[in-house]
């Protein structure tokens, strides 16, 4: 009971001493509070960025393997009037017919083209594929229907519009049943469906370009082959230009996630000649590998951000030690009187440790409270910037504008615990110095 009363009086005296110098105490608390809040904020921002990146990769499909055609540099295309590159149909058929683990294989062709209806026109992208394309890319239907297997088999002149194209060409009309005109191949396509808005996907490395789904028009790949053919021609900068690409992309979906890496190696083996030709006109992208790399990068990024934030806590701890050393010097006479009245060295140490621990606990609690406000604060800041600087914010990548900080739960107890630990560690030396003072010399201090 006496020990508890002694401990209570020590805390009471320590807290009372802190209130005698409120400004000094507040500034000391500020250092710890900034450190704790910095840990929580930086880790939350890092987690939000990482989560966004992983969502972009996951949108490609963890069970997917993507073979993408890439236009090589002009010096690698030769002197032919028609630039030939990319994935061939015979290679696509070889993959489908020889790898049993493949569940779905989706051939894709695409070309930049203009679309019109009445007096409205818009540049966009004509995408030829199969019914499975919509599931693979996780596109959602807003109205009408997707392309059907019968549309593909019978080369139907049907199309599904992205929301961006639909709003531009049909600002006041219902697009379903209307016919969109493509001047490039002089063809009308009947609209059978409208897609919901879809966020653009980020580009990954140099092998997979960012995908903007807002300007797409989807038709059966058989129709595109029939209407356009493999060779596209256009005039560019006053000169004639033509290129031949049989398939711009093949998305291969395997039966189970365990088969992904095995099938990826089989795909690379089958395309080895083209991959190692030096032309660089195709690449194989495995989202599962990218996800694993992203997880590793995330851990490294979080550690790096945590180390940066820990520096703030270290600075706060040094601030505590400086303040407490100054306090010891200022209270030398008080310490001498207490020692002369019989206070033991342990009691003096405990009093000064109580003061540093109290400062650390208060700073830690305030830091945690402010740290938890990170998502709300940054969302308010972003909305304010969008309202006052709309053009500048619009020019930023969508990932920057849409990323939301995610509080990492472990960051709260860890940052608070480190704050208290720092208070103890950096408070020990001032407390030890105070307890070792000679009572006679302390009483002579003015």
CA dihedral 195, 251, 199, 151 (to 10 degrees): -10
Q: What pairing do the DSSP bridges indicate for beta strands 120-129 and 216-220?
A: parallel
Phi-psi region of 177 (alpha: psi -120 to 50; beta: other; left: phi over 0): left
Q: Report residue 334's pLDDT band, with 50, 70 and 90 as the boundaries.
A: low
Give the number of other Cβ atoms within 10 Å of residue 203's Cβ: 12
Q: What is the DSSP string of 346-383?
A: HHHHHHHHHHHHHHHHHHHHHHHHHHHTHHHHHHHHHH
In this predicted model, which residue has the larger pLDDT, 334 or 140? 140
Tell me what pLDDT residue 206 has.
41
CB neighbour burial string for 368-404, b if at least 16 within 10 angstroms, e if fewer = bebbbebbeebeeebeeeeeeeeeeeeeeeebeeebb
Q: Report residue 399's pLDDT band, with 50, 70 and 90 as the boundaries.
A: low
Q: In 69-170, where does DSSP find H-type helix?
A: 89-98, 132-136, 149-153, 163-169
Cα 355 from Cα 353, distance rounded (Å): 5
Tell me what pLDDT residue 65 has.
85
Say yes or no to pLDDT of 31 above 60: yes
* Range among 30-34, 106-110, 424-428 rated most confident: 106-110
- Are 9 and 276 a contacting pair, CB within 8 Å? no
Half-sphere exposure of 377 (CA within 13 A, CB side): 11
Tell me what pLDDT residue 203 has.
46
Instruction: Take residue 164 and report the two structure tokens written for it.
Output: 């961006």
The residue with tokens 């615990």 is 417
Cα 330 from Cα 320, distance rounded (Å): 15
Task: Report pLDDT digits (tens) over 70-109.
Answer: 887 776 766 667 778 888 899 899 888 988 888 888 999 9
Helix (H) or strand (E) holding 160: strand 158-161
Q: Is the pTM of this model over 0.75?
A: no
Tell me what pLDDT residue 184 has.
77
In this predicted model, which residue has the larger pLDDT, 170 or 351? 170
Closest CA to 369 of 68, 24, 41: 41
Q: How far is CA 352 from CA 21, 23, 179, 364, 432, in A?
A: 14, 18, 83, 18, 9
In this predicted model, which residue has the larger pLDDT, 164 or 335? 164
Mean pLDDT, the chain, whole residue set: 78
Tell me what pLDDT residue 166 has.
92
Tell me what pLDDT residue 204 has.
46
Q: How many residues does the chain have?
A: 446
Task: Report pLDDT digits (tens) over 275-307.
Answer: 777 777 888 888 776 666 666 777 777 777 767
What is the residue extent of each domain of the chain?
A: 2-57+293-444, 64-255
- Are 141 and 194 a contacting pair, CB within 8 Å? yes
Tell me what pLDDT residue 207 has.
43
Tell me what pLDDT residue 352 has.
72
Instruction: Take residue 196 and report the two structure tokens written for it.
Output: 């919901």
In this predicted model, which residue has the larger pLDDT, 20 or 190? 190
Helix (H) or strand (E) holding 103: strand 102-117
Tell me what pLDDT residue 221 has.
93
Task: Provide the 3-class DSSP secondary structure of residue 93.
Answer: helix
Q: How far is CA 21 from CA 86, 123, 187, 315, 318, in A?
A: 74, 69, 83, 21, 19
Tell me what pLDDT residue 254 has.
85
Q: What is the mean pLDDT of residues 435-440?
A: 65
Tell me what pLDDT residue 205 has.
43
Q: Report residue 36's pLDDT band, with 50, 70 and 90 as the boundaries.
A: confident
- Are 401 and 382 a contacting pair, CB within 8 Å? yes
- Are 30 and 24 a contacting pair, CB within 8 Å? no
Task: Enumerate helices (H) and strands (E) in the chain, giving the number of each.
Answer: 17, 13
Cα 222 from Cα 298, distance rounded (Å): 42
Q: What is the mean pLDDT of residues 130-156?
A: 89
Give percent of the chain with pLDDT exceeding 90.
16
Say yes or no to pLDDT of 312 above 60: yes
Q: What is the mean pLDDT of residues 152-167?
A: 92
Give percent of the chain with pLDDT exceeding 70.
73
Task: Provide the 3-class DSSP secondary structure of residue 247.
Answer: strand
Task: Report pLDDT digits (tens) over 198-214.
Answer: 766 544 444 445 567 88
């Amino acid at each position: 009971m006496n020990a508890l009363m002694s401990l209570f009086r020590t805390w009471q005296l320590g807290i009372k001493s802190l209130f005698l110098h409120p400004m000094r105490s507040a500034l000391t608390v500020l250092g710890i509070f900034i450190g704790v809040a910095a840990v929580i904020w930086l880790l939350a921002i890092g987690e939000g960025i990482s989560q966004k990146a992983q969502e972009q990769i996951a949108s490609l499909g963890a069970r997917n393997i993507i073979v993408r055609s890439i236009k090589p540099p002009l010096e690698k295309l030769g002197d032919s009037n028609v630039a030939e590159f990319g994935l061939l149909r015979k290679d696509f058929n070889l993959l489908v017919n020889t790898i049993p683990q493949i569940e779905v294989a989706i051939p894709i062709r695409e070309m930049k083209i203009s679309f019109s209806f009445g007096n409205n026109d818009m540049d966009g992208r004509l995408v030829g594929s199969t019914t499975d394309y919509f599931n693979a890319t996780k596109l959602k239907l807003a109205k009408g229907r997707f392309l059907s297997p019968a549309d593909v088999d019978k080369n139907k002149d049907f199309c599904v519009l992205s929301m961006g194209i639909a709003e531009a060409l049909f600002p006041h009309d219902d697009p379903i049943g209307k016919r969109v005109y493509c001047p490039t191949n002089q063809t009308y396509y009947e609209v059978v469906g409208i897609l919901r808005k879809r966020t653009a996907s980020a580009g990954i490395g140099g092998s997979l370009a960012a995908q903007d789904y807002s300007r797409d028009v989807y038709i059966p790949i058989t129709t595109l082959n029939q209407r356009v053919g493999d060779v596209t021609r256009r005039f560019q900068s006053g000169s004639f230009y033509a290129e031949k690409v049989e398939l711009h992309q093949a998305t291969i979906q395997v039966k189970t996630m365990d088969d992904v890496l095995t099938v990826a190696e089989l795909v690379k083996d089958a395309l080895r000649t083209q991959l190692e030709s030096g032309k660089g006109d195709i690449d194989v992208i495995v989202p599962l590998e990218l996800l694993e790399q992203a997880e590793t990068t995330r851990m490294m990024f979080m550690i790096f951000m945590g180390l940066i934030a820990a520096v703030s806590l270290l600075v706060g701890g040094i601030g505590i030690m400086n303040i407490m050393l100054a306090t010891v010097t200022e209270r030398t006479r008080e310490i001498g009187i207490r020692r002369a009245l019989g206070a033991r060295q342990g009691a003096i140490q405990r009093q000064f440790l109580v003061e540093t621990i109290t400062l650390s606990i208060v700073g830690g609690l305030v830091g945690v409270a402010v740290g938890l406000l990170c998502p709300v604060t940054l969302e308010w800041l972003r909305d304010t910037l969008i309202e006052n600087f709309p053009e500048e914010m619009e020019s930023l990548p969508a990932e920057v504008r849409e990323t939301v900080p995610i509080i990492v739960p472990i960051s709260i107890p860890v940052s608070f615990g480190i704050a208290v630990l720092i208070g103890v560690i950096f408070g020990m030396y001032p407390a030890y110095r105070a307890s070792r003072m000679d009572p006679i010399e302390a009483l002579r201090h003015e």
